[in-house]
Amino acid sequence: MIYDEVLDKCKAAKQAVPSIAYATTKQKNSLLAEIAQSLTERAPFIISQNDKDLENAEKSGVPKTMLDRLKLDINRIEGICKSLYELIELKDPIGSGERWVRPSGIEISCVRAPIGVIGIIYEARPNVTVDAAALCIKTGNVTVLRGGKEAICTNLAIIQVMREAIAKLGFDKNIVSLIESTERESANILMQMKEYIDVLIPRGGKGLISAVSENSKIPVIQTGAGNCHLYVDESADLDMAVRIAINAKCSRPSVCNAIETILIHKAVAVKFISLLVPAVRNAGYSLEYRTDDYLLPMIEGAILATDEDYYTEYNDYIVSVKTVDNVCEAIKHINKYSTNHSEVIVTKSLENARGFQQKVDSAVVYVNASTRFTDGGEFGFGAEIGISTQKLHARGPMGLMALTTEKYLINGDGNIR
């Protein structure tokens, strides 16, 4: 039964490729506008279904920080629709490229082309349903979505609204589809559909990404897991460092661009902790600290960090705090424990800033700014399909260009070799 559903939807997706792959930029933008208008008009319906998911998730004991990722309200739906209109304004990459002529006389054009069918396996993030589908539409790709059980009612509602808008404008509604089964088996089956799916993108925690990467027969773009770090340098503006730490850890601890570890130069550790702890409390947050031996006596209620803590993406109001002797030790720690997502140094030293950005092996490396900016919208991409933590094909927030491939077009006049 589950196999039949996945197979049927993957087949239908493959057959729908011409409907969107050959659409003009104007046609694709009109479709995105229609989807945005439909989502706005049907917001009460979507929110009512989201309420069911939230109720079920609370009964199941889903942590409050994760409920925040699941929740949709009118403001968040308006934000999603705003990103669609921003996407409309962005340049369509399809068909862009460069041209050159070889001594043989052949004219070569290297142009951007759609990938084809993109499968996305993700967790309780209903905004991903819209963002992923919209980015695929803009780039002429078909998408097959498989969301988590916590968001199934919301995802079904969103997909219903989107497919109605798609059909209204005369496109094949199967350019966007959702696998309704949330059993683990449905994800496992999707990973085997290499005849129909061209690339698979997992969005979620470390466990999901590892499972997809290890078991998929389809090429995978790894995204999402975010064990991010903040390093407070000896020369740092400590007030700035406190502001960045609170924003990067506490504003939305459940997201992948939140920091999980703060590294502090030992020369400023006492002063920084004396500023950070009360500032967190005064901002209304209750943060659990896991520290090294040096900092343990300085923070009331702190517990000693284990090596496992430094590897952990908490997704909660928990942070590891550790002292280091210099920037080189900080870089070494980050490169050992990080998931290669986003890291930040707070410093006044140009030399340390440059060294940190050069030597830290992560997709996004900041100087004096919060890691919370690692986001497709904040980068000017309109939205994102995910944040790639690997090095091939795409890295960092993946916008429109990351959902395209190259195609070579050759023109000649009877040329032979």
| pTM for the model | 0.83
Contact 249, 279 (CB under 8 A): no
Q: Which fold has domain 2-223+385-411?
A: Aldehyde Dehydrogenase; Chain A, domain 1 (3.40.605)
Q: What CA dihedral angle connects 278, 281, 283 and 288, to 10 degrees?
A: 110
Distance in angstroms (rounded) separating the CA atoms of residues 319 and 261: 6
DSSP H or E stretch at residue 134: helix 126-138
Distance in angstroms (rounded) separating the CA atoms of residues 382 and 335: 30
- Which pLDDT belongs to residue 391? 75
- Which pLDDT belongs to residue 204? 77
DSSP H or E stretch at residue 265: strand 259-265
- Which pLDDT belongs to residue 314? 92
Question: How is domain 228-373 classified at the architecture level of CATH?
Answer: 3-Layer(aba) Sandwich (3.40)
Q: What is the DSSP annotation of 67-123? A: HHHH---HHHHHHHHHHHHHHHHSPP-TT-EEEEE-TTS-EEEEEEEE--EEEEEE-
- Which pLDDT belongs to residue 124? 78
- The three-class DSSP label of residue 392 is coil
Chain centroid, CA 8 distance in Å: 28
Domain residue ranges of the chain, discontinuous segments joined by +: 2-223+385-411, 228-373
- Which pLDDT belongs to residue 361? 92
Distance in angstroms (rounded) separating the CA atoms of residues 319 and 291: 9
pLDDT in tens, the chain (417 residues): 899 999 999 999 999 999 999 999 999 999 999 999 999 999 999 999 999 999 998 888 888 777 888 899 999 999 999 989 999 999 999 999 999 999 999 999 999 999 999 999 998 789 889 999 999 999 999 999 999 999 999 999 999 999 999 999 999 999 999 999 999 999 999 999 999 999 999 887 778 888 888 889 999 987 767 899 999 999 999 999 999 999 999 999 988 899 999 999 999 999 999 999 999 999 999 999 999 999 999 999 999 999 999 999 998 999 999 999 999 999 999 999 999 999 999 999 999 999 999 999 999 999 999 999 998 878 888 777 778 877 777 888 888 989 999 999 999 999 989
Distance in angstroms (rounded) separating the CA atoms of residues 270 and 295: 8
CA atoms within 13 A on the CB side of 137: 32
